[in-house]
Chain A
Amino acid sequence: MPEEQSQTIMAIDELQAIIQRCQILEEADFRGEDFNLFQVAGQKCLEDGYAAQLLEVVQNEKNKVIIKNMGWNLICPLVRCILVYKQEDDKREHCLKILDQLVQLCNAKELFLGLLEQIEQTSGEQVCQTVMLLLQPLQTVLFKLQNKKAYSVGLSLAMIMNQLTPLPVPYTKQQMQEDKLGLCQCCNAVVDFAKPFVNEVVKSMEKSSECSDMELKEELLKFCMKSLKYPLLTAQLEQLESIEDHPFRRFATEIIGILWDMREFIPLVFLHHKGRSPSWENEEFEDIERKNSADSLACLAYLMFVHCFGIDCFPMVFSPSYLLQRNMTHIEVLLKRTEESVLSKGLDLFESSLLRMEDNSLLHQYLEFSDFITVPQNLVKVMTLCPIEHLRKKSLNILQLFINKFDAEGKYTLFRCLLKTSNHAGVEGYIIQNIKDQIHLSLTHLRSKARNVCCDMKVCDNSWFTGHHLISLLDLVLLLPEGAETDLLQNSDRIMASLNLLRYLIIKDSEYNNQTGVWTMLAKIEQNFLKPLHVGLNMSKAHYEAEIKNKKENRREAHNSNTVCSVTVSGEKMPVMTTEMQLQVLHSALFTFDLIESVLARVEELIEVKIKAVT
């Protein structure tokens, strides 16, 4: 269209006009208005697709001084155009060349700010593209900067990471391969961007033992810490078949490499990281800082102990209990979170720390460290509340592993603690099962000792699961938590486990030997457990039977209007229970009561038989 053409010609003419005017001026005489006109005209040229012409202007030797001073104004429209043009478009190629030229010619300070501004303004799907486009220019310009280089490098890295942080981290293999937003590629590009600066620090450290460029080192360290928190803490880091160059594993390797090269790796994993972070005046900031670094350090421990990143550099003389103790802090941080990616990292780190230990080798004194108590409690929470099944299962396995590692007294204390704190009949049942296993081990051991069979003393300190120690533990087990009013259905797991344990004790231990002490406390057991259980069973059964009868009558009476209330689970309305379904539930409850009753009968029978046998 002629009109449009005339406009573009005007834009170029305008640019030429300003340029001609400025060519004869000294740098110092450039006026503000020249800058303005230059920017407007340049931008217009780009928008109208006359990149080739603009490139000529920029490349013209005569315009060098003008570009040096004013060129940075073109960065913004230039970036916009590059992102719009298709890969194979000639115009894109021209724009890239212009960018190149600007990087060569422009004043470093202005150009740096111009580039940073572009990164700051980008958002959403364009973040990675923009960052990757500008990394190279940014690096070049940072090397040209005369002063405040460390600060500028830090600012750039912080800005880039801040822009990346809101992006979702690809988690599945497919998401990683697809890398829709380009995050995987971008992260690795950022590391490459940082590397020359790392080399500078390393070189200055080689020269003198004290790093002369502390500031740059601090900035790079901040970048590494930030990277550990995002994306690495949420990234999937398992080895994957068919992905040879796993993007995040590569990224992790590079980050740990940087830490290692700057000699910060060992101090980070090991020593208390105190006194080196800048002390904030505001306590709130200090807290945030500490919390942030806690996440990063936990991720670092995970990378090292679970995936062996950097393990080559790690001293191989630490005792496994000490490593577990150190990792407990990290495990606690991770298990408190709810995201699958983070939780599973916590579980993996816990598992790997435990697998380094031999069974029965963890001294009970470790329970004096508070996280040895809180972490299993967190584990129970995952086990009972986490919506992701494989994590629930895994946490149960790890709890068993944790129990196995303790010495007898440790197991004993842990059982007590978990019985008191879990508030979950299933978990309590599980612990009671464990108690039974320990008693079995002790009794077997005592018998073989009686028969003079040698056995490892360390493994079985029998005193904790026999005699008076055991009695005080059984006091917590062989009872109904709320007497006869206890909800038997809710507590059925626990009750069944307790009855099984009692049955085991009665069969295994005789009133004559009374190694477990169960015969001494029989009266108490009857009072606290068996009697109320009878009462409870009778009441519950009567109640449920009446309910069933009611339901059946109601069914005959009102066939349609039977919704009493609706149930919603996390905002979603559950399907209405039909009377049929309700009846089914009631029947299955009755079945549970029958089961409990039959085991109870068996136990009482055994007691009677044994007592008779003695008298």
Chain B
Amino acid sequence: MTTDEATKNEGEVQAAALAERGEDITPAQDRGVLKIIKRPGNEDESPMIGDKVYVHYKGKLANGKKFDSSRDRNEPFIFSLGKGQVIKAWDIGVATMKKGEICYLLCKPEYAYGSAGSAPKIPSNATLFFEVELLDFKGEDLFEDGGIIRRIKRKGEGYSNPNEGATVEIHLEGFCGGTRFDCKDVKFVVGEGEDHDIPIGIDKALEKMQRGEHCILYLGPRYGFGEAGKPKYGIQANAELVYEVTLKSFEKAKESWEMDTKEKLEQAAIVKEKGTMYFKEGKYLQAVIQYGKIVSWLEMEYGLSEKESKASDSFLLAAFLNLAMCYLKLREYTKAVECCDKALGLDQDNEKGLYRRGEARLLMNEFELAKCDFQKVLEVNPQNKAAKSQISVCQKKTKEHNERDRRIYANMFKKFAERDAKEAASKIGIEKEAEKAACEKGLKTPESEGRESEGHV
């Protein structure tokens, strides 16, 4: 008996055993997916909906022919569970598995590729046999920065999510270090959770939830109450939080294209107030959301009347200047500079814009540019004392910086010189000649220039 036949037989035996003794794991109990555990898992935990799961698997057709195996590809197969990414049998089957478990699944075509099949490997109406090993799983990392991990307890409906500014109705319970500190039903606008003592991470996560979804959210400090903590709940600085949230319903905010200019200008006045309120309380992330709305509504608005245009520009200018201030506080200096640039695009002599750009540049160690900005501030308003003192700060820093550089480079040059001497000894002057030739020949292609500079790096 050849090995092929052996595996074929083995497959048939397994399939037969499954058909006979397999547990029906379909919710409809129609024997569409049958399962036998080959090796029980080593932990009692099962993956949840939305989890990123890692599996190894082997798939065979009813005739024993292998059609796919992750082991042949030498890497585990990864997918999001319960999101319809894989055939139905898998979403059902893998959800029942424990970490480390190996099981067999027998899947009717209705739970696999049906009458259409999947060219070229799966014929029409094929029953599929799988051996699956659940290697690992982890919660979904919503922003791929480890800051918010979501595990879904109950899947929501459809694929649409609340957007920023949407009105949501949720139930939430907040935990810190195992104790529950918050439990309430609440209705609020996404981006303004802070008004109800809800951390920004919940606002962000809501934008990825669907109606009816019930999930657990693990928030890092950045998405929680941050450095300030939350004395009201007795939460220390930089605490990690766990929330259980149910999105009961939501109403989407109008997208920018759904609003007319008048509405946008009216709303701009409201959100500007809100932004300023957050800013004063030191809630810079929340303030950024509010000011950001003004930009998204008005920045690309065309065909305004003269009066509207004036109003729009003044809102935009204020929004950019305030955003710049927020980003300075949030230590995102590049963004701060961008906002100042845009503000100065509207009003090139804006004192605040120039000053804030100077501040941001100073913090980015771009002393010369910073100095220019502060000097321009003085041109606009010679009385600005702060700018004067900033200029001297710039000069001082430049000096310090130069000295440090000098020290560093002095070391470097010494090392380079030693290394060059060694190299030179091994291949005497070959390059020199070639380069000379190239120069005299007048060859000025970019490559030859590149080559010349290459020698000096």
Interface on A for B, CB 8 Å cutoff?
Answer: 27-28, 30-33, 35-36, 39, 69-70, 73, 107, 109-110, 113, 116-117, 120, 148, 155, 263, 266, 308, 311, 313, 315-322, 352, 355-358, 361, 365-366, 368-369
Contact = CB atoms under 8 A, between A and B. Distances in A.
B158 A358 contact: no
B160 interface: yes
Given A107-B430, A316-B121, A32 B448 contact: no
A33 B77 CA distance: 65
13 contacts: A28-B432, A32-B440, A35-B437, A36-B441, A107-B430, A107-B434, A113-B451, A311-B121, A315-B68, A317-B86, A318-B86, A355-B116, A355-B119
Contacts of B59: 316-317
A316 B120 contact: no
Interface string B437-457: 111110101011001001000
Contacts of B68: 315-317
A73 B114 CA distance: 67
Q: Which of A70, A316, A317 has the most CB of B within 10 A?
A: A317
B85 A365 contact: no
Contact of A319 (B87, B159, B431): B87
Given A36-B441, A315-B77, A358-B114, 15 more contacts: A32-B437, A32-B440, A36-B437, A36-B440, A73-B437, A109-B434, A263-B75, A316-B121, A321-B84, A322-B84, A355-B116, A356-B113, A361-B114, A365-B159, A368-B160
Interface string B277-300: 000000000000000000000000
- Tell me if B's interface is mostly helix, strand, loop or mixed: mixed
Interface string B55-98: 00101000000011010010101010000111110100000000
B447 A113 contact: yes
Contacts of B158: 365, 368
A35 B433 CA distance: 9
A322 B159 CA distance: 13
Contacts of B384: none
B428 interface: yes
Contact of A69 (B86, B433, B448): B433
Contacts, number: 113
B77 A356 contact: no
Nearest to B115: A358
Contact of B116 (A32, A36, A320, A322): A320
B85 A356 contact: no
Contacts of B441: 35-36, 39, 73
Contact of B429 (A28, A117, A308): A28
Contact of B118 (A27, A32, A155, A316): A316
Contact of A117 (B57, B79, B434, B445): B445
Contacts of A35: 433, 436-437, 440-441
Nearest to A275: B144
Contacts of B429: 27-28
Nearest to A357: B116
Contact of B159 (A263, A352, A355, A368): A368
B235 interface: no
Interface size class of B (residues with CB under 8 A): 35 or more
Contact of A116 (B428, B436, B447): B447
B352 to A, nearest CB: 25
A319 B85 contact: yes
A116 B451 CA distance: 13
Contacts of A361: 114
A36 to B, nearest CB: 6
B437 A313 contact: no
Given A355-B116, A366-B159, A120 B88 contact: no
A316 B122 contact: yes
A79 to B, nearest CB: 15
A107 B434 CA distance: 9
A87 to B, nearest CB: 30
B195 interface: no
Contact of B430 (A27, A117, A263): A27
Instruction: Across the A-B interface, give the 7 residue pairs with the lowest CB-CB distance, nearest first.
Output: A35-B437, A316-B68, A32-B440, A368-B159, A365-B158, A28-B429, A368-B160
B403 interface: no
Contacts of A116: 447
A317 B433 contact: no
B157 interface: yes
A356 B121 CA distance: 12
B57 A317 contact: yes
Given A27-B430, A308-B119, A322-B85, A113 B57 contact: no
Contacts of B433: 27-28, 30, 35, 69
A35 B436 CA distance: 9
A308 B59 CA distance: 19
Contact of B120 (A308, A313, A321): A308
Contacts of A69: 430, 433-434
Contact of A70 (B79, B119, B437, B451): B437
A581 B158 CA distance: 56
A33 B440 CA distance: 8
A355 B117 CA distance: 9
B70 to A, nearest CB: 7
Contacts of B434: 69, 107, 109-110
Contacts of B118: 316, 320, 356
Contacts of A31: 436
Nearest to B429: A28
A318 B438 CA distance: 58
Contacts of B75: 263, 266
B67 A316 contact: yes
Interface in B112-167: 113-122, 130, 157-160
B173 to A, nearest CB: 28
A73 B448 CA distance: 13
Contacts of A319: 84-88
Nearest to A72: B434
B119 A356 contact: yes
A263 B73 CA distance: 9
Nearest to A363: B84
Nearest to B86: A317
A50 to B, nearest CB: 22
Nearest to B439: A32
A316 B428 CA distance: 60
Contact of A322 (B86, B121, B160): B86
A109 B450 CA distance: 12
A358 B87 CA distance: 13
Q: Which of B87, B433, B441 has the most CB of A within 10 A?
A: B433
Nearest to A281: B334
A69 B439 CA distance: 15
A251 to B, nearest CB: 21
A311 B113 contact: no
Contacts of B159: 365-366, 368-369
A40 to B, nearest CB: 10
B451 A117 contact: no
Nearest to A323: B118
A33 B433 CA distance: 11
A357 B115 CA distance: 8
Nearest to A364: B158
B80 to A, nearest CB: 10
A28 B447 contact: no
A48 to B, nearest CB: 21
Contacts of B443: 117
A119 to B, nearest CB: 11
Given A28-B428, A308-B120, A266 B73 contact: yes
A407 to B, nearest CB: 13
Contacts of A36: 437, 440-441
A116 B130 CA distance: 53
B116 A356 contact: yes
A28 B430 CA distance: 6
Nearest to B78: A271
